[in-house]
Amino acid sequence: MSVALALPAADPRAPYQARAAFLVLIGALVFNAALCFLNTAGFPVSGGTVIGAEVAIIAVTLGFALDERPGPWLILAGLVSYGLLLLALRGSTDVKGLRDFLIPVVFYNLGRRHPDLASADRAVLASGVIVVVMGLVEYGLFDLYQQYFNIVRYYVARGSMSPSEINELTGSLFTSGIRPDSRTILPFLGPHRVSSVFLEPVSAGNFGAVLFAWALHRRTMRGRAWLFLCAAMTIVLADARFGAYVCVAITGAMLVGYRLPRLLWFALPFTILLALTVYGFESMQVTWQNDIAGRLLWAALLITSLPPEGVLGIMPDKLFLSDSGYAYALTQVGAAGALVAWGLFVLMPARNPDGWRLRCAMAIYTCLLLVISDSPFSIKTAALVWFMLGAADGAEPETGA
């Protein structure tokens, strides 16, 4: 056998890997805004349209994410099989739980197969610029923006809102698009909370924290200052007070928290879940305000309202749990699935110290965000988060790390 025949075949996807990754990341970021534009323009959109768009993005990503390595295939097969088992036990056809398993696996492996961190930097910075530009258009040209992006009509069309939930105060914006009281960050900007391509301000603020984490992680990045600026502007425009708090926690995780034992990181979300459960059972309050204390109480009450089958992930009834990510996670993937998935994330070996620092930052981001929202599962932000984690894990350590 000749030497040429003994060499492995070149991957035909390699020349297109960076470009494909860039396109699917931008697609995951903006597809909801694109569908909102189409719906406003008179092309009807439904929940099936949104699901179809997500499936298409995940399918293309899958084509560039997996290779001959058996590990990702086995993990994917195991998680999907478990998700199908839960669907069968529920007697349900809602595949959101399967999607919640697929997004981390495919986008993490897309990042692992990425050619270099410099091209990953460009993808992250481009995402930040798109979010800021769209946000400035929304804020500065609001009347024009409303003509092309009627967010409430889009959410009603896709089945995420009912017409009765439309609020005269917010108009065409999402229900949280106007701060009823005064802004927390720079009150002179007014009550409008900018949503940008995310169509709701909570995800915009979360995305600002994600951009901040990558800028803090990539000490040698070209355009690092611009990425910090994009992160700050996104959080300020969205008046995302929680996003600002998360940035502080991310800084602590990168500077100090990465030195903690992995078992402590593994225990973190379950400790928070236990604390919320105890709080929910012990609290005598039944009303809550839209502040941090009130959101904690509401999250605790949602968790303690779950029946045993909800905790196991086999409850057939679909509840509105978007205000408590922990309750949502239990009902979608079950306690066993959550243990396994989080264990894979935290206990998986890290190739370099920089990758582990970023993983700790994203762990604290996820654990804190799950207290008040299910948005860590949304492809709008999760695609870039998991891509960043994969790219950081697959890279060589930076000089001076």
The pLDDT tens digits of the residues spanning 198-216 come to 999 999 999 999 999 999 9
pLDDT band at residue 372 under the 50/70/90 scheme:
confident
On the CB side of 13, how many CA atoms lie within 13 Å of its CA?
17
Q: How far apart are CA 81 and CA 13, in angstroms?
A: 28
Least Cα distance to 351 among 157, 112, 148 occurs for: 112
Could you give the C-alpha distances from 76 to 83, 114, 341, in angstroms and in order? 10, 19, 11
Task: Record the tokens describing residue 358, joined without a space.
Answer: 């970023």
For the record, the structure tokens of 145 come out as 């923006």
Region 103-122 average pLDDT: 91
Q: Produce one character per residue of 365-378: b if its CB has 16 or more CB atoms within 10 Å, e if not.
A: bbbbbbbbbbbbbb
| Model pLDDT, residue 391 | 94
Confidence category of residue 10, pLDDT binned at 50, 70, 90: low
CA 221 vs CA 100, 117, 317: distances in Å:
30, 9, 47
- Does the pLDDT value for residue 275 go beyond 90? yes
Per-residue pLDDT averaged across 69-91, rounded? 88
**What mean pLDDT do residues 74-91 have?**
88
Taking a C-beta distance cutoff of 8 angstroms, is the pair 102, 359 a contact? no
CB-CB contact of 162 with 156 (8 Å): yes
Q: How far apart are CA 215 and CA 212, in angstroms?
A: 5
State the average pLDDT over residues 301-317: 89
**Confidence check: pLDDT of 6 > 60:** no
pLDDT per residue as tens digits for the range 48-75 = 999 999 999 999 999 999 888 888 889 8
Long-range CB pairs of 158-166, under 8 A, 24+ apart, other chains included: 158/35, 158/45, 158/46, 158/47, 158/49, 158/50, 159/46, 159/47, 160/47
pLDDT over 80 (residue 82): yes
Rounded to the nearest 10°, the torsion over CA 12, 18, 24, 26 is: -160
What percent of the chain clears pLDDT 90, i.e. is strictly above it?
A: 59
CB atoms closer than 10 angstroms to residue 392: 28
In b/e form, how buried is each residue of 288-322, taking b as 16+ CB within 10 angstroms? beeeeeebbbbbbbbbbebeeebbbbbbeeeeebb
Query: Residues with Cβ < 8 Å from 51, sequence gap 6 or more?
Result: 95
Q: Give me the pLDDT at residue 3, please.
A: 41
pTM (2 decimals)? 0.91
Rounded Cα distance between 235 and 287, Å, is 28
Q: Are 123 and 387 in contact (CB under 8 A)?
A: yes
Report how far apart, in Å, the C-alpha atoms of 214 and of each of 227, 276, 292 are: 8, 30, 26
